[in-house]
Amino acid sequence: MTNKTYWVLKNVVIGPFLRVYNRPFARGIDKIPSTGPAMLASNHLAVMDSFYLPLLSPRQITFLAKKEYFTGTGLSGAIQKWFFTSVGQVPIDRSDKDSQTAAMATGLRVLERGELHGMYPEGTRSPDGRLYRGKTGAARTALKADVPVYPVAMIDTHKANPIGSWIPRPHRCGLVVGDPLYPADFHDAGDDYAQARALTDAIMERLAELGGQEYVKDFYAADVKTALEKGEGYPEGSEPGKGEVLGA
């Protein structure tokens, strides 16, 4: 499935510019299956992860995007809403449990149609370029649909698109696709939550290895971001340098 606006943006309007301006690289992209349902689980360093990943993917990806991307004001808000709506992204309210249930149902429908479903397990952009504890939504969806999960590590996208910026900088960025994780391998982990938690942790560990990020496995990015915004500093134990660097 590829809608016309998605194709035009990727191949005519935005894609060619980004390919020249940022010279994005892709390693392991051939691991993404050419047909059939699959989940792409990515770290989240920048708003433009949702540009670079679709640009480099051989197939169209449907993301569940936070509702704030669809409710912005002014010119930038209008452009953002138009973009995410035009390329088939689905808004979700991360604070509403009913909305999260509906989001999972939407994700399952995407996979039932045999499409690629993209999710950011961290739930929000990293506040400092590190990898944080994953939420279980992506894993629960993959387990329910019984589809493989391909970890995708975005590399240096936050340097091309720093937090708060809308015009990308000419910094090279890219992605690395890892080997798939299969839900069946986690069925012995315990109940439904234990299975989802085990698969989520495996995804995040794989992302840390692929991307070389410091992995802050005991803290959620949203909680750290909130503390920083309140001027409280990093929660104890989450300070830079306190995480793990896997595969180093």
Q: Where are the domains of the chain?
A: 4-245
Write down the pLDDT at residue 1: 54
Contact 57, 152 (CB under 8 A): no
pTM: 0.89
Let me know: does 199 contact 148? Beta carbons within 8 Å: no
Q: What is the mean pLDDT of the chain?
A: 90
Amino acid 50: pLDDT: 87
Predicted local confidence at residue 238, as pLDDT:
96
Dihedral-angle region of residue 49 (phi above 0 means left; psi in -120 to 50 means alpha; beta otherwise): alpha
Alpha-carbon span 143 to 87, nearest angstrom: 26
SS3 105: helix
Query: How far apart, in whole angstroms, are the C-alpha atoms of residue 79 and residue 104?
Result: 26
Residue range 4-245 forms a domain whose CATH class is alpha beta
Residue 73 is predicted with a pLDDT of 75
Low-confidence ranges of the chain (pLDDT < 50): none
Closest CA to 39 of 132, 89, 107, 133: 107
